[in-house]
Amino acid sequence: MTIETYDKMMTKTIRDLERGDAMPKIAAEAVRMIKQRVQQTGTNAKGSKYAPYSTNRMLTNCSTMTLSACSKIAGSKEKRKELDWVTINGHRLFNLPGGYKQFRSLHGRQTNFVDFSFTNAMWNDINVISKESDHKRGVAIIGAKQEIEKKKLSGNTKRRGDILDLSPKEINELYELYNLNSIQIFRHNGL
């Protein structure tokens, strides 16, 4: 191979690396890893369980619940009589003695660990939000896109810590993925 051929191959390789095509793929994999860890195990990036769901009494009413959940707690006259009712700003609410944990349970959601997955709307909205110019600089950013989901993510983060942090193991796996992608670019260009 001549120096000129090698120079052309290396220039193309550098251009391919600078395109930043790997960054969105790596960021998407990071999102997948985080979602899987949190939703399946309820652990943060440091390996600790998130603080459990609240069991402090909370006010609610049937308009915030599914028909099935509401009927479990207030589906008959007798059940409604047993509830502790209050009126706030013209809204009739009852105390749910088991708090948010009971609210989740009434809706058939798991309560063994915090998974931030009542409706999955927040998780479904979290994705790669960085731009192509970021990717070319080797930067990928993940987060929520819609304003309401950004607020949920922000609130959950304030209460429980940075939900979108990566564990050391996940970081190493992403490094390996990036390195593999780089090697493939070198090979593709004959180097």
Render pLDDT for 154-187 as a digit per residue (tens, 0 to 9). 999 999 999 999 999 999 999 999 888 888 888 8
Predicted model pTM: 0.84
Render pLDDT for 79-122 as a digit per residue (tens, 0 to 9). 999 999 999 999 999 999 999 999 999 999 999 999 999 999 99
CB 83 within 8 A of CB 95: yes
The domain locations on the chain are: 16-50+116-191, 53-112
Sheet holding 91-96, edge to edge: 58-60, 91-96, 85-88
The structure tokens 């998130």 sit at 50
Structure tokens at 151: 């607020």
Q: Residue 162 CB: number of other CB atoms within 10 A?
A: 12
3-state secondary structure of 99: helix
